Structure 1
Amino acid sequence: MSGVIPKSIGKLENLIDLALYNNSLSGLIPPSLGNLSQLNKLYARNSNLEGPIPPSLGKLKNLFVLDLKMNYRLNGSIPKEIFRLPSLSWYLDLSYNSLSGPLPNEVGSLANLNLLVLSGNQLSGKIPDSIQNCMVLEQLFLDNNSFEGNIPQSLTNIKGLSILNLTMNKFSGNIPDALGNIGNLQELYVAHNNFDCSCLETL
């Protein structure tokens, strides 16, 4: 399927699931998608979409899956409104786009989210301490970005974390000893950063 997503799609007010993935679409994500107040799942990965993510998606209060992966021309910062979606619980996947800027403090509002995937973008700055409020998060993928600074101690408060991928960033300093206290952690990836290697002895 090709062409643009029509603005009139926002009139489908009873729509529950919307799957647009693996298409040859073009153009922007229409802000009118934010009018789909009953939407539970939005799948638009690998669909050739471009431009910024519209903040109006933050109005999708019943959404529990948002998948915009592999739209390589999707750019700009991640709207803070996305992180305030109260029902987002299954997963949020914005990986392998061209998103930039810092990870907003509002990420800590994702209190019900199980899986967060932001790999393969141009995100930068430090991981905000507010991420510790993602208490049910099980898998966190921040690899292949430009995050920097230390791994925040607050990350170790996410006790249910089983996979943490920080590969290919600009992290430095020591890896927190407390990572070794996350009992559920099964996979830890920190390769290709600027860590002090001596800290690995404590894990």
Structure 2
Amino acid sequence: MIINLIAGGVDTTSVTLTWAICLLLRNPLILEKAKEELDTQVGKERCVRETDIDKLVYLQAIVKETLRLYPAGPLSAPREFSENCNLDGYDVRKGTRLILNLRKIHTDPNIWSNPLEFKPERFLTTHKDVDVRGHHFELLPFGGGRRICPGMSFGLQMVHLTLASFLHSFEILNPSSEPIDMTETFGLTNTKTTPLEILIKPRLSSNCYEIM
């Protein structure tokens, strides 16, 4: 079970990081703002530490917005009704299974303005109190309730630290003049159909890479 938990966390973490980098390359002003925050809070003489993450509020907003637009699992785990009930005028029988379309919830125009736009600032303004840990029904990338993703905390920790370290350590560029392809392949995880190809170059002092 522990191996399955770690494997599942690695898979979904890599998917989320891929989409985050794609979105940032398609939105260079947001990418620059993320790097400015990293340079202010961390500087360019050392590497990012886990203790830095709490200060990187814009980076946290980028991760939230990525999980909103591209949840690693586009559908929730199934739930089964334990008794007959009535939901908003619909009679639901005991034993009925429910699967949530998370993508639909996360892009509901009644909740999110310009729902298909990549706008991390929404989590610093209109939705600053909305979290991804299953407490808000409008954003459920890890599910919710007693059967919320058991690897959520580990996954978030890995995504924040890896993305922060990568953006802090390297300039990232699109090698093509064409926009990054955002075609998705749906399955248990929501993967990018084509491989992500990028160019990177160091942006820190050389001693930082010796430590890494």
Is the TM value for this pair above 0.5?
no
Which structure is richer in relative contact order (CA contacts within 8 A, separation 6 or more)?
Answer: 2
Find the structure with the greater CA-based Rg.
Answer: 2
Q: TM-score, normalised by structure 1?
A: 0.21
Q: TM-score, normalised by structure 2?
A: 0.20
Structure with more helix by fraction = 2
